[in-house]
Chain A
Amino acid sequence: MDPRIGTALTVLIGVPAVLIGYIYLTEIALRALPERYKPRARPWLWLLPALAFLFVFLIYPTIGTFIRSFRNADDTDFIGLNNFQKFVSSDATLIALRNNILWVIFLTVFCVGIGLLIAVLVDRVRYESWAKGVIFLPLAISAVAASLIWKFMFDYQPPGEPQTGTMNAFIGVFGISPVPWLQIDTFALNTFALIGVMAWMWTGFAMVIISASLKSISAELLEAARVDGANEWQVFRRIVFPLLLPTIAVVSTTMIITALKAFDIVYTMTGGNFNTDVIANLMYKQISFGDFGFASAIAVVLLIAIVPIMGVNIRRFQAQEAIR
C-alpha cells in the first residue's frame, strides 16, 4: 500500500479526533473553575489552537522579519538602519517605489471606475449575468497564465515582419509601425501596460462586489426619487452612488493592497527590466541574492505601507456590519 494513503487517513481521522479530544479536555479543565468564570474562559480555550497557529505562522515570522531588517546579509550582525538607508538611496528601490505608487493609484482607479461603470450599465440589461461572467472570467486565470497571454498581446516583431502580437497587428492595420510596448519607459508606458493586465484581471472582482451592493438598494427608494422628478443621472449621483460608497471604499482598499503586493505580472512579463520593477519583486530578488537583511527591510516597508490601509478596511467592514 502507498504510504501516502496511511498519511491521508491519519490526517482525515486524526485531525478531527485531536480537535474533538481537545474540546473534551477543555471541558474537563473547565470543571475545575468556579461556575461564573466558565462562560468567559470557554471561548478563549476554544480559540487557543487557532491563536497558536496564528502566532507560530504569522506573528512570530513577522517579529523575525522586523529583527532581521536591522541585520546584515548573512544575519550575523546588527547593522542599525543601514538596510533602510540602502532602501532610500538606491535608484532601483526608488523606481520600484514610484512604480508601486503608480500601481496603487491607477490599478485602483481603473478597476473600481470601470467595475462601477459596468455594474451600473449591465444592471438594466437582460444578458446581465452573461456579461458579468465574461468580465469576471480573467480573475479565474492564474496571474502567470494571464501574463503569458498578454506577452503574446504585446509581442513585438521588427517592422516589415508579420506582427504576431495582437496590439501591434492592430495598430499595423492603420499603418503605424510596431511598438515594443514593454520596453518603452517614457511616461512609464510599460508600467501602465502591466497595470492594464492586472486591471483586466481584477475589474471583474470590483464589478461583482459593487453589483451585489447595487442589487441591495431597494427599488422603492429609486422609484420614489423618480416620482419626485429626479432624472436618471440625479438618481445615480444622489442616491445610488452614496449608498454604494461603503462598498466602493472596501473594494478600493482591497485593490490598493493588491497593487502594493503586485509581483507575478512584473516578474513574468518584464522581470523588472526597463524600469518596471516593483517592491515585491525587489524583495524576491534580494532573497535570491541571499541578502536576507535587505529583503526583510523591504518587507517591513511594504508591511508598514499596507497596515494603515488594512486598518481602514477593517473599520469599514465593521461599520458596514453595524449598518446591517
Chain B
Amino acid sequence: MRTSSFASQDPRPTTTKIKFSDPKIKQAWQAFGDVAASSFGGSSTINATAFQTAGDPLFKSPPGCEFLHQASFITGLGAFKAKKAGTDYNFFPFPDIDPQYAGAVEGAGDLFGMFHDTEAAKSLMKYLVTAPAQDVWVKIGGALSANKNATSYPDDISKRSAALLQNAKIFAFDASDLMPNVLQNAFLKGIVDYIKTPSSLDQILTTLDAAQASAQPQGSPAAASPSPSPSPSS
C-alpha cells in the first residue's frame, strides 16, 4: 500500500490479479523483513509472542522496544489496558515510504450483511451508518467510524485516529482479512516461516501463488458494504 500503486487502484486486494511472486510484492515483504529483523528479541521472539502482548516491552524500564506497529484496537489488550493513553503511551500514523502514496491508511472493520432484501432490513442498514448509531459504537472505545458526524470518542487517541481515517487519501482494507480461508492460512503460515527463515522468501512466495490459485472463488466482497467503523493502523 505504501510502496506501490494497487491499493490506490482497488481497495479490495482479493480482486487484484497480482501474484505474490510479483517483484513489487516481494519488495514489500523484504521491507517488512528488514523491520522484523531489528525488532525486540529477533525472529525467535516474534514467533514466540502473541500479538496481544507484543507491545508489553514498551512499558518496561528501560523499555525493551520504542515502537509498536499495531491497529487502534490494541489499546484494550495486553499491558495497554492498564496504562493511560496520552501520558503512558501515544501514537503517530505509520510514516509514508514512497511520497507518491502519502496519506495511505490500512484498516479492517465490522461488516453489516443483509440476507433478505426487505424494507425493514434496509432501514436498519440505513440507520446503522448514521451518526447516532455509530456514536453508540465508538463510545465504547477501540472502534472508529467513517461517519464524520459521529463524535463521541472516549479519548484523544480515538479522536485523532478517527480523523486520520476520515482524511486518508488511500484506504486499503486489510488484505489478510479479506483472503479466502485457504489463502489466509497459507499467508499467515508464510509470514511465520519468513520470520523464521528469511532466506526462503522466494519459496514462500511460490507456495502462496499456488495457494492463491487453489483458493475457492468467494462471493463478491461488495455484497457487504465496506466498513463503517474501520480502524487505521497506527
Contacts and interface: CB of A to CB of B under 8 A. Distances in A.
Interface of A: 73-74, 155-158, 161, 180, 182-183, 273-274, 285, 288-291
Nearest to A179: B44
A289 B185 contact: yes
A288 B44 CA distance: 28
Contacts, number: 45
B193 to A, nearest CB: 8
8 contacts: A157-B41, A158-B41, A158-B42, A183-B47, A273-B47, A288-B185, A290-B182, A291-B216
B182 A289 contact: yes
A291 B189 CA distance: 18
Q: What 9 pairs across the A-B complex have the smallest Cβ distances? A: A158-B41, A289-B182, A180-B44, A156-B48, A158-B45, A289-B181, A273-B192, A180-B48, A183-B47
B44 A158 contact: yes
A154 B193 CA distance: 19
A291 B180 CA distance: 12
B64 interface: yes
B29 interface: no
Most interface-central of A158, A183, A290 (chain B CB within 10 A): A158
Contacts of B193: 273
Nearest to A291: B182
A288 B64 CA distance: 38
Most interface-central of B40, B48, B180, B185 (chain A CB within 10 A): B48
B196 interface: yes
B181 A73 contact: no
Interface in B155-187: 180-182, 185
Given A161-B64, A273-B192, A290-B216, A183 B44 contact: yes
A183 B48 contact: yes
A155 B50 CA distance: 11
Interface string B179-215: 0111001000100110010000000000000000000
Interface of B: 40-42, 44-45, 47-48, 64, 180-182, 185, 189, 192-193, 196, 216
Contacts of A183: 44, 47-48, 196
A243 B63 CA distance: 63
A158 B216 contact: no
B61 to A, nearest CB: 13
A149 B42 CA distance: 25
Contact of A158 (B40, B180, B189): B40
Given A180-B47, A273-B189, A273-B192, A290 B181 contact: yes
A285 B214 CA distance: 14
Nearest to B196: A183
A73 B215 CA distance: 11
Contacts of B47: 180, 183, 273-274
A180 B64 CA distance: 19
Contacts of A74: 216
B45 A157 contact: yes
Given A183-B196, A290-B181, A161 B41 contact: yes
Contact of A73 (B185, B196, B216): B216
Contacts of B196: 183, 274
Contacts of B216: 73-74, 289-291
A289 B185 CA distance: 9
B44 A156 contact: yes
A157 B40 CA distance: 10
A157 B48 CA distance: 8
Contacts of B180: 289
Contact of A285 (B41, B64, B185): B185
B41 A288 contact: no
B53 to A, nearest CB: 11
Nearest to B60: A161
A180 B42 CA distance: 12
A95 to B, nearest CB: 12
Given A161-B41, A289-B182, A290-B181, A155 B189 contact: no
Given A155-B48, A289-B216, 15 more contacts: A156-B44, A156-B45, A157-B41, A158-B40, A180-B48, A183-B47, A183-B48, A183-B196, A273-B47, A273-B189, A273-B193, A290-B182, A290-B216, A291-B182, A291-B216
Nearest to B218: A290
A285 B189 CA distance: 13
Contacts of B41: 157-158, 161
Nearest to A277: B189
Nearest to A275: B193
A296 B185 CA distance: 19
Nearest to B41: A158
B38 to A, nearest CB: 13
Contacts of B44: 156, 158, 180, 183
A290 B215 CA distance: 10
